[in-house]
Structure formats: C-alpha cells, structure tokens
Amino acid sequence: MALRTLASKKTLSLALGGARPLAAAARGVTTVALPDLSYDFGALEPAISGEIMRLHHQKHHATYVANYNKALEQLDAAIAKGDASAVVQLQGAIKFNGGGHVNHSIFWKNLKPISEGGGEPPHGKLGWAIDEDFGSFEALVKKMNAEGAALQGSGWVWLALDKEAKKLSVETTANQDPLVTKGASLVPLLGIDVWEHAYYLQLKNVRPDYLNNIWKVVNWKYAGEVYDNVLA
C-alpha cells in the first residue's frame, strides 16, 4: 500500500500539498501537509531505490514541510506584533522550506513505476513541442542531463513551459528555489532534484548516473497533462 498522510480538506493556494488549520487560522494562516505518494517506496526500483525514496519523502520533504509551517506561524506572530525586522528575517526560511515543499510535491508526480508507464516517451502536443523546440526527445534528455550535471552545489533542473511565449526551455534553480523565481510565466512540467540526498545512498556522488537512470521512471503523461491544461 502506498503511504497515506493525514490532511484536511483546506488548502494553501501557494502550495501543492494539502493543508490543515493553525491555531492562528482566525487570521487566515494555514499550514501545508506532506502529500501522499501514489506508489510504494520501492516501486521505482531499480532506477531509484526504495530506501532513498523513503528517506527522501519521509525525512527530507517532511522536514521542509515542518520548517515551512513553523516559519508561517512565526510570520503570523511577527505581523500581528508589527515586527518588521522579524518579517524580513523570516523570508529566507519561507523561500527555502516553502520552495522545498513546492518542488518535491511536483517531483513525486513526475515519477511513475515502469509497470505503470513510467519512462514512456511523451506523446501528443508535448511530444511535438519537444521536437520543435529541441530537435528531438533525445536532444532534450541530453540537454537536461548536461545542465543538471553541471549545476554547482545543490538544486534542480527543469523542463519549463513559458505560458506567454508558448515555448519550452530547460532551466536550473539553486538550492530549493522554485521555478517561478526564474520568471513568473514559467510553468514546471518536469523537475529533477539534483541534491545528493536524491541519489547518494545508491550511487554515491555520481550525479550523471542518477540523471541517466531517472528517465526510466519519468511520468511523461503527467507532464503532458500540465502542458495541455496550461495552453488550453
């Protein structure tokens, strides 16, 4: 059975997970919750080990959720007190941990077991757009692998759709910066986590091997649905 995490029906519009009310909910503050996975931790093996998936979801993503919620509570208290210095000081924690939650919530949806169609190349409108903007699917994979491997330190490599220009691009973001920090018109279709916690237990520090493996379990159906909905 896939993991199920308790969450209420309330949502935070800027986050992708479920949400539950805070004690300060009367002032309009809500917290986010760790989203469920639609597959078991070991379902992506051998591309990604079950141990890595469990730690990545239960430890790393859960920590971003907890720290983001804590920062929201502190922000609410600072605003109520009119403490401008505290409000400014909290922005870094909100960006880092909120970005970690947003990015990972997308990441889990971008993955799918091979037995359920993971790794099948994109079809339909997204497939045509990839051919038009990159030359071929293989060229896109090569570009994302190269940019992901070259990213210094930790971060993410993205397949983005510019909803205004209606063009695809490959982008990178540092640390847990979400794609929106590169441009308000950019919509994430596929995000690959290149922090070492995503692969170290399985592949040590060999990031290129991780990037080569992950394409075997990419959920292109989800990416295609996002693409179609944005341009509908």
Q: Where is the binding site for Mn(2+), in residues?
A: 56, 104, 193, 197
Nearest one of 46, 50, 48 to 3, comparing CA atoms: 50
Q: In 145-176, which positions are buried (b, 16+ CB within 10 angstroms) versus exposed (e)? A: bebbbebeeebbbbbbbeeeeeebbbbbbeeb
Distance, in Å, from the CA atom of 82 to the CA atom of 49, rounded to the nearest integer, reads 48
Could you list the residues known to form a binding site, using ranges: 56, 104, 193, 197
Exposure of 3 by Cβ count < 10 A (0-12 exposed, 13-18 middle, 19+ buried)? middle
Closest CA to 102 of 25, 40, 207, 187: 187
Residue 208 DSSP label: H
